[in-house]
Amino acid sequence: MGHIAAVCAAERGRSSRIGVIAGTRPEAIKLVALVEALRALPAGCLLINSGQHAAMVQRTLQHLGCTADLSLPQIAAPSLSAAVRTLRAQLRDALRETRVEAVVVQGDTSSAYAGALAADEVGLPLIHLEAGLRSGHPFRPFPEELFRRRIAPLAALHLAPTLAAARNLLGEGIDPARVRHVGNTVIDLLRREVEAGHAVELPFLPATPRLATLTLHRRENYGHGLDTACAAVLDLLAAAPDLGLVCPVHPNPAVGTRIRRWLGTHPRIVLTAPLDYRPFIALLARSQLVVTDSGGIQEEAPYLGTPVLVVRENTERPEAVALGAATLVPLRRERILAEAQRLLAAPRPRALAFDAAAPFGDGRAALRCAAALQELLAMRDASLTLPP
């Protein structure tokens, strides 16, 4: 590992003071804009692929024109707790070897929590990107809500994506001087892709006049929840013969096996492997409806004018619901069908503009995050040079 770290630093001609940890595809997507902003600064950035979903992170970064500086071994753990322990140990060793001076974790994954624990163990200031999201239930969604609540007390700097997230942190007693409302970095990437206007071919689309997208992966929906959502989707297609559906299937066998059993033989349903970012955004833009239990899609779809049906009991992104861009519906077959039909019958909502009034930001969050990190390092430098 020492050789790899040395090579990475030499390639940029300077040491990197800020370590950034990515372990999953959504983390990689949300970190790309920040990594680019930090690499343009003297402090630099050391992007670490934690090994949680190593191949998927590598592919996602490559697709977006970014590379990890340090890739840790893919973990193989029989349980969530074992995964966190393994990730914590190898991230702790990586932070010590690379000698970064601050650590950024994103969101609420096992890598984010393990990275926070590792930073605390090594004695490095922790920066939490996408801080302050709260669902209102301490264990739902699990383990995401638990992780983000446990990360908060460890963070020296909280980069909140929305005003509501910042208020959540202040309500928990976090020092206001440690909280910054910056916007969500995924909107930076989305804005770049929308403004670039890439022509993206989607040859797998069903030959139907209308299109819906389905994504399911939340642990809280394993088993009966997946069955209910899939059954409701079949009801919807039965009631709407002009509607086709695309479902990128999550690689977790607990999800994929069930989805394929329910939806794999329907003539108007296309099941795909997980899509790269650009084709997935193109799919959302072409869809009249997305049915999902994802968090990130609740942020992205409103900027594309695609209505979102969130099949969960609660959400940590109430801004989309308040706007009317997302509808929260519990896992009940008849309710999902009714709400999906209502959204398909309604006029398509207007896409959010990338401006200061948009709840998830204007697509310039990474610059604000980088400035806040510069300020943190400057304060640290000043404290280290003060006389005893």
Type of residue at 63: H
Given the residues 101, 120, 130, 316, the one annotated as active site: 130
Q: Is 217 a catalytic residue?
A: yes
Strand-strand pairing, 102-106 and 157-160: unpaired
Given the residues 39, 92, 217, 364, the one annotated as active site: 217
Given the residues 63, 85, 99, 219, the one annotated as active site: 219
Q: Is 219 a catalytic residue?
A: yes
Q: Is 198 a catalytic residue?
A: no
Contact 238/208 with Cβ under 8 angstroms?
no
Given the residues 250, 260, 268, 335, the one annotated as active site: 250
Q: What is the DSSP string of 24-62?
A: SHHHHHHHHHHHHHHHTSTT--EEEE-SSSHHHHHHHHH
CA distance 325 to 348: 10
Given the residues 69, 108, 193, 319, the one annotated as active site: 108
Q: Tell which residue, 286, 303, 308, 298, has the closest CA to residue 352.
A: 303
Residues 303-335: b if buried by 16+ CB within 10 A, e if exposed: bbebbbbbbbbbbbbbbbbeeebbbbbebebee
Q: Is 108 a catalytic residue?
A: yes
Q: What is the DSSP string of 294-337?
A: -SHHHHHHHHHT--EEEESS--S-HHHHHHTSEEEE-S-HHHHH
Given the residues 27, 36, 69, 144, the one annotated as active site: 144
- Just list the catalytic residues: 108, 130, 144, 217, 219, 250
